[in-house]
């Protein structure tokens, strides 16, 4: 009697969201709990397979959050991709969730095929510090000149050598990156910087946020940004902001991945209803 043919390996991409507060970053390491380790453990429990090579689109640092992190792996499991999120989430802790999954081609690579990323950095600008959102925003007290910040922002757009906005310890040999867009939204005391680009150096988003903060505090002139970029001198840029304000929002691919998920989120929009006693 012939044995059954082995299942053909499948290649799966995952869209995940996590609160980075209790993680030592995404990538597996010896000194603490990481997103990659927890995801691999859940995949092993679900499928019974022991040899998982999970590759991530971004190695977020300790304390950094993500709403749209992408990773990929190979498996012999026959669980349909649309059922994987629910199945995996029963094995995951509350601070990590799989939002969507899809089958991808065998040569897909979550990191090397990424065309760009969108990050958000959130600042709570009020004298009193936040309690509920303390792990999701960076608290900055005092008055900020947001007009000065807005004047500085266009100087960062485009393709530049961003070594002045890179901390030591980076593995990137080429410091040239392209920033596609940079925006600032204000909702009461909550300031949200959103930045999109083809890639980011070590701590680059946090340093850009710190530099714009220094502009808003009057420590750096808006029109000095081009000279800081040309100098390549890290000491001339602003400080590296704390990790808890940073969130990876979206990773871009061609063809797009998980557009159905993001479209559904956009369609939900916001519906505000208020009832008052007469």
| Confidence band of 2 (pLDDT split at 50, 70, 90) | very low
Lowest mean pLDDT among 65-74, 88-97, 228-237, 265-274: 265-274
Q: Mean pLDDT throughout 76-89?
A: 96
Catalytic site positions: 61
Per-residue pLDDT of 37-76, as tens digits, reads 999 999 999 999 998 899 999 999 999 999 999 999 999 9
State the pLDDT at residue 5: 43
Q: Could you tell me if 179 and 161 are in contact, meaning their C-beta atoms sit under 8 angstroms apart?
A: no
Distances (CA, A) of 24 to 35, 93, 153: 8, 15, 31
Lowest mean pLDDT among 8-22, 52-66, 150-164, 258-272: 258-272
Domains of the chain (ranges plus CATH)? 10-103 (3.30.70.580), 116-251 (3.30.70.660)
What's the rounded Cα separation, in Å, for the pair 13 and 258? 9
Per-residue pLDDT of 178-192, as tens digits, reads 999 999 999 999 999
pTM for this model (two decimals): 0.93
Per-residue pLDDT of 224-259, as tens digits, reads 999 999 999 999 999 999 999 999 999 999 999 998
Per-residue pLDDT of 116-162, as tens digits, reads 999 999 999 999 999 999 999 999 999 999 999 999 999 999 999 99
| Confidence band of 7 (pLDDT split at 50, 70, 90) | low
Strand partners, 116: 252
């Amino acid at each position: 009697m012939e044995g059954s043919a082995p299942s053909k390996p499948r290649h799966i991409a995952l869209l995940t969201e996590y609160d980075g507060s209790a993680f030592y970053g995404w990538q597996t390491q010896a000194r603490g709990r990481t997103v990659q380790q927890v995801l691999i453990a859940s995949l092993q429990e679900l499928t019974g397979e022991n040899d998982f090579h999970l590759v991530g689109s971004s190695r977020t640092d300790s304390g950094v959050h993500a709403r749209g992190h992408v990773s990929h792996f190979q498996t012999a499991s026959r669980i349909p991709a649309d059922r994987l999120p629910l199945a995996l989430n029963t094995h995951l802790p509350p601070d990590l969730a799989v939002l969507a999954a899809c089958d991808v081609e065998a040569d897909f690579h979550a990191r090397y095929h990424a065309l760009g990323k969108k990050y958000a950095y959130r600042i709570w600008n009020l004298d009193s510090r936040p309690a509920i959102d303390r792990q999701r925003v960076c608290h900055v007290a005092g008055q900020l000149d947001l007009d000065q910040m807005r004047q500085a922002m266009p100087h960062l757009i485009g393709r530049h050598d961003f070594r002045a906005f890179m901390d030591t310890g980076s593995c990137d040999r080429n410091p040239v990156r392209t920033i596609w867009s940079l925006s600032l939204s204000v909702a009461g005391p909550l300031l949200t910087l959103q930045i999109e680009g083809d890639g980011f150096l070590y701590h680059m988003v946090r340093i850009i946020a710190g530099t714009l903060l220094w502009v808003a505090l009057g420590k750096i002139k808006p029109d000095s940004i081009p000279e800081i970029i040309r100098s390549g001198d890290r000491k001339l840029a602003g400080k590296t902001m704390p990790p808890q304000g940073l969130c990876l929002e979206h990773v871009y691919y061609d063809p797009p991945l998980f557009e159905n998920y993001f479209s559904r989120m956009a369609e939900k929009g916001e519906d505000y209803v208020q009832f008052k006693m007469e």
